[in-house]
Amino acid sequence: MSVAPAGTALAGGTDGPRALRSFLDTVLDALTTGAQDRSGPLPPGGPDAVARAVRDTCLPLLPEHGTGPHAALRTLVHTLAAGAADPADPHCAAHLHCPPLAVATAADLAAGALNPSMDSWDQAPAASELETLTSRELAALVYPRATDPDALITTGGTESNQLGILLAREATHSPRTTGPLQIVCGANAHHSIHRAAWLLGLPEPVTLPTPDGTLDPATVHTCLAALTGRTGGTSRTGPVLLTATAGTTDSGAIDPLPALADLADHHGARFHIDASYGGPLLFSDTHRTALTGLARAHTVTLDLHKLGWQPVAAGLLAVPGPATLTPLGHQADYLNADDDTEAGLPDLLGRSLRTTRRPDILKIAVTLKALGRQGLGDLIDRTLAAARTLADLIDAHPRYELHSRPTLTTVLFRPTDADDTTLAAIRRSLLSEGHAVLGRATTPTGLWLKATLLNPHTQPGDLTTLLKLVEGHTPR
């Protein structure tokens, strides 16, 4: 075989790793120097300064003659790292944007090099088996009593919620149904529930108020009774899907899952839980009980690129048994011809709405195996402890107000005398200086600063500094 010029070497085969190794040195150096140049959680200067730096270093992006692989990697990786919002910095705490584990990121490199595509067995022989085994392992955590639980791998909470709603629509559709599936959710639900309804041609979800941050069972009961027109008999208006959230985006609150499961049962409604954020509490001996009731849902969204320390994407939709997934069955002769399936080639097409699909399962499987359930549980415990420490510091501080004790790792707070405009300005000043990345949450009691802690290595001193940074921008 002739030797390929450096920039065109392939990543696979027995020679691929050698080509990769030399590039990796360049990439890792550029990651280091980029982070050093940034020296904080965010590049300073705001959008204009960052855009200018990217243009100055990266253009032209399609030169007539290439720079060669090392120069391209050095320039672009350095620029991206210098201009990154780095969730590994303890002061980068705005969103459910986690710092990925190095071990998971290393596994993702292998996924890229091998490039299995998860839409047919002949593109992903071992990867498809690994996906089956790992999905089942995770699904068994969600549904410990089910005999054959399963999970689909998705791009995250949005896709999992869409799939959960699609499966509900298909499962409840029959010649006898009198209307379309009606979703009932809380005002605390993720916006993807509403988007999925729109995408799937369903009516706008009935959105119940959640003034205390979670769904109120009495309000849900009244709503379901009115919609189903029954307390046990047949539905008057068509099927209903109740969706609950285990870990809301704004405050990390968990809806009262057992009571909502009872209500869904009582009114004959389908039940979906979006546990994108809170789901990984299943790994923790200490905190697992916060998810009691999860196993009573027909479908459960999990997302390991939030509280699971995976590089994006690492979503799952867990189901209690394979029958739930039947509506996704699909046939395309080039991928799953009937005779191939009959001859024993696994049929992967019904495991996603996507066709070509990355083997996101590899990094997940490597993480599970490397850390074990207890190792992951320990990371969960530490991260929840950091949020409680931050809440304590805020509680004890004369100039801060705490919204509520954290359920997961989100802490809402504000300087006692700051109005909404001042709060929004504090957040933007911290962003443009690059000193801290805090989020914002609007609740019935106004605007709050939001710290979403996802870094398990955060120390109390980091949190004290974070509060000092906010204080430094608060007018006296």
Distance CA 352, CA 346 (A): 14
| Residue 413 near ligand PLP by CB under 6 A | no
**Spatial CB neighbours of 2, under 8 Å, sequence gap ≥ 6:** none
Helix (DSSP H) and strand (DSSP E) numbers for the chain: 14, 12
- Complex with ligand PLP: residue 99 or 156, whichever CB lies closer: 156
Binding mask 243-262 for ligand PLP (x = CB under 6 A): --x-xxx-------------
Beta-sheet pairing, 270-275 with 299-303 = parallel
**Spatial CB neighbours of 44, under 8 Å, sequence gap ≥ 6:** 432, 433, 434
By CB under 6 A, the count of residues binding ligand PLP is: 16
Q: How far is the CB of 280 from ligand PLP (least distance, A)?
A: 13
CB 257 within 8 A of CB 273: yes
Distance CA 145, CA 294 (A): 12
- Complex with ligand PLP: residue 77 or 151, whichever CB lies closer: 151
From candidates 131, 303, 381, 462, binder to ligand PLP by CB under 6 A:
303
| Sole residue written with tokens 């995976």 | 310
Length of the chain: 476
CB 154 within 8 A of CB 316: yes
Distance CA 224, CA 212 (A): 20
Q: How far is the CB of 154 from ligand PLP (least distance, A)?
A: 8
Q: How far is the CB of 246 from ligand PLP (least distance, A)?
A: 8
CB 44 within 8 A of CB 434: yes
| Sole residue written with tokens 């941050």 | 213
**Which of 58-66, 75-83, 156-164, 354-362 is the region at the interface with ligand PLP (rule: CB under 6 A)?**
156-164
Provide the token pair at 469: 């940074």
| Residue 276 near ligand PLP by CB under 6 A | yes
- Complex with ligand PLP: residue 163 or 365, whichever CB lies closer: 163
- Complex with ligand PLP: residue 316 or 418, whichever CB lies closer: 316
**Which of 145-153, 157-165, 329-337, 374-382 is the region at the interface with ligand PLP (rule: CB under 6 A)?**
157-165
From candidates 23, 121, 271, 277, binder to ligand PLP by CB under 6 A:
277
| Sole residue written with tokens 């697992």 | 288
Q: How far is the CB of 216 from ligand PLP (least distance, A)?
A: 18
- Complex with ligand PLP: residue 163 or 227, whichever CB lies closer: 163
Q: How far is the CB of 155 from ligand PLP (least distance, A)?
A: 7
Q: Is 156 left (phi over 0), alpha (psi -120 to 50) or beta?
A: left
From candidates 34, 99, 100, 156, binder to ligand PLP by CB under 6 A:
156
From candidates 274, 347, 381, 462, binder to ligand PLP by CB under 6 A:
274
Distance CA 261, CA 344 (A): 39
**Which of 19-27, 105-113, 151-159, 416-424 is the region at the interface with ligand PLP (rule: CB under 6 A)?**
151-159
CA of 200: how far to CAs of 161, 180, 313, 424, in Å?
A: 12, 10, 23, 35
CB 75 within 8 A of CB 120: no
Per DSSP, the three-state class of 295 is helix
The residues in 418-447 that bind ligand PLP, with binding defined as CB under 6 A, are: none
Q: How far is the CB of 92 from ligand PLP (least distance, A)?
A: 15
Binding mask 371-410 for ligand PLP (x = CB under 6 A): ----------------------------------------
| Residue 360 near ligand PLP by CB under 6 A | no
Position with the least CB separation from ligand PLP: 156
- Complex with ligand PLP: residue 190 or 473, whichever CB lies closer: 190
Long-range pairs for 17-26: beta carbons < 8 A, 24 or more residues apart: 17/113, 20/109, 20/113, 23/69, 23/70, 23/73, 24/109, 26/69, 26/70, 26/73, 26/74, 26/77
The residues in 47-106 that bind ligand PLP, with binding defined as CB under 6 A, are: 96
Beta-sheet pairing, 437-443 with 92-93 = parallel
The residues in 168-207 that bind ligand PLP, with binding defined as CB under 6 A, are: 190, 192
The one-character DSSP state at 316 is E
Peptide bond into 244 cis (omega under 30): no
- Complex with ligand PLP: residue 228 or 276, whichever CB lies closer: 276
The residues of the shown chain that bind ligand PLP, judged by CB under 6 A, are 96, 156-158, 161, 190, 192, 245, 247-249, 274, 276-277, 303, 315
